[in-house]
């Protein structure tokens, strides 16, 4: 019985699969082209893909005996869930273990944008730092700003906790109100009120380009947008325009397209801080994600209910 793992993973979680007598094939490249994925998935009973592997019906049909797709991620928008359901293939994910790391990175981006950390570092490194000046690189004070969270699952709530420690006021929008000590607003109200809008909602057909041009420009003038969820929640072209005057800045760990190609207009904007989808990239977090993916995969192969099922 063979398991295909589409990237090397930190930690020792894959040893557990080998100890159970499974053959583990790990792809060692930086990415796995679709044609190669199609070849290598043949004959696999289990698949551990990353967010960058599109797992569609074609992939599933190549892997005739495939029983489980154990995603190395909490997001599952890269998997055709309907196709998996139709074929009786289980799909699992890794919720919980990456909550704090992703919330940390969200705050890192918020601070970087609000206090112009990246601009400041470049200013110093490039030899422009000649004097202290009261008006040099003025940014936004977080204290007293309103943070509007769009999506209030585990990560949204972890961001809220951190924001309170910085003296921010928290409001949120979600599909349904939750018993939380923060005001629930409609998306339109939130965009009008929030000084910082942070996205924490899964990418689905309903949330695709949730922040379209109209909504981006409905945000407060001088507000900040943070996205550590999925790039396609935002209309990128409209965001570039909004960043040229309407918004104070944006902190983006995810983009559309992704990876964002060299020379993209977003890179030219000093008020956009872009990181390469590293929200969960704490070593311990990434090791835990591997353990959770392996546990889910083993559960399915051993006929147990997986702890984190999606399908």
User: Least Å distance between CB 250 and ligand DGY?
Assistant: 18
Cβ–Cβ contacts within 10 Å for residue 6, how many?
23
Nearer to ligand DGY, 79 or 300 (CB): 79
User: Least Å distance between CB 272 and ligand DGY?
Assistant: 19
Concerning whether 173 is annotated as a catalytic residue, the answer is: no
Report d(CA 11, CA 244) in Å as an integer. Answer: 43
Q: What is the DSSP track for 23-73?
A: EEEE--SSS--HHHHHHHHTTEEEEE--TTS-B-HHHHHHSTT--EEE-SS
User: Least Å distance between CB 121 and ligand DGY?
Assistant: 26
Nearer to ligand DGY, 99 or 236 (CB): 99
Cis geometry, peptide bond prior to residue 259 (ω within 30 degrees of 0): yes
Q: Which among 41-49, 71-79, 124-132, 217-225 is the span making contact with ligand DGY, rule CB under 6 A?
A: 71-79
Instruction: Decide: is 255 part of the binding site for ligand DGY (CB under 6 A).
Output: no
Instruction: Decide: is 280 part of the binding site for ligand DGY (CB under 6 A).
Output: yes
Nearer to ligand DGY, 98 or 191 (CB): 98
Instruction: Decide: is 227 part of the binding site for ligand DGY (CB under 6 A).
Output: no
Residue from 14, 48, 60, 74 binding ligand DGY (CB under 6 A): 74
Contact 256, 234 (CB under 8 A): yes
Concerning whether 230 is annotated as a catalytic residue, the answer is: yes
User: Least Å distance between CB 258 and ligand DGY?
Assistant: 10
Nearer to ligand DGY, 223 or 273 (CB): 273
Instruction: Decide: is 79 part of the binding site for ligand DGY (CB under 6 A).
Output: no
Report d(CA 236, CA 239) in Å as an integer. Answer: 5
DSSP state of 86: H
Q: What is the DSSP track for 105-137?
A: HHHHHHHHHHTTHHHHHHHHHTT------TTTT
Q: Which of 40, 78, 173, 277 is catalytic?
A: 277
Q: What is the spatial order of strands in the sheet that 146-150 belongs to?
A: 169-173, 146-150, 196-199, 224-227, 249-252, 272-274
Instruction: Decide: is 95 part of the binding site for ligand DGY (CB under 6 A).
Output: no
Instruction: Decide: is 92 part of the binding site for ligand DGY (CB under 6 A).
Output: no
Instruction: Decide: is 236 part of the binding site for ligand DGY (CB under 6 A).
Output: no
Instruction: Decide: is 155 part of the binding site for ligand DGY (CB under 6 A).
Output: no
Instruction: Decide: is 114 part of the binding site for ligand DGY (CB under 6 A).
Output: no
Q: Which among 68-76, 133-141, 261-269, 293-301 is the span making contact with ligand DGY, rule CB under 6 A?
A: 68-76
Cβ–Cβ contacts within 10 Å for residue 250, how many?
25
Annotated catalytic residues are 230, 258, 277
């Amino acid at each position: 019985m063979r398991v295909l793992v589409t990237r090397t993973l930190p930690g020792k979680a894959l040893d557990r699969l080998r100890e159970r007598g499974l053959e583990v094939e790990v792809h060692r490249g930086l990415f796995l082209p679709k044609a190669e994925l199609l070849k290598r998935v043949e004959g696999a009973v289990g698949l551990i893909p990353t967010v960058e592997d599109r797992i569609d019906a074609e992939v599933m049909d190549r892997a005739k005996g495939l029983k489980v797709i154990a995603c190395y991620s909490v997001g599952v928008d890269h998997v055709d869930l309907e196709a998996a359901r139709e074929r009786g293939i289980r799909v699992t994910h890794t919720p919980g273990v990456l909550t704090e790391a992703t919330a940390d990175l969200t705050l890192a981006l918020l601070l970087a944008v609000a206090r112009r950390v990246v601009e400041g570092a470049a200013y110093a490194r490039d030899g422009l730092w000649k004097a202290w000046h009261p008006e040099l690189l003025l940014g936004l004070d977080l204290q007293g700003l309103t943070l509007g969270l769009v999506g209030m699952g585990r990560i949204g709530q972890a961001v809220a906790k951190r924001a309170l420690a910085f003296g921010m006021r928290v409001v949120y929008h979600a599909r349904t109100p939750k018993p939380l000590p923060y005001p629930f607003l409609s998306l339109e109200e939130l965009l009008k009120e929030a000084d910082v809008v942070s996205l924490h909602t899964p990418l689905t057909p309903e949330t695709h380009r949730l922040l379209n041009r109209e909504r981006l420009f409905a945000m407060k003038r001088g507000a900040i947008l943070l996205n550590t969820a999925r790039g396609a929640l935002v209309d990128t072209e409209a965001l570039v325009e909004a960043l040229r005057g309407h918004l104070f800045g944006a902190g983006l760990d995810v983009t559309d397209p992704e990876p964002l190609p060299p020379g993209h207009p977003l890179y030219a904007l000093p008020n956009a801080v872009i990181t390469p989808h590293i929200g969960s990239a704490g070593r311990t977090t990434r090791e835990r994600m591997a353990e959770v993916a392996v546990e889910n995969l083993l559960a399915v192969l051993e006929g147990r209910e997986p702890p984190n099922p999606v399908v």
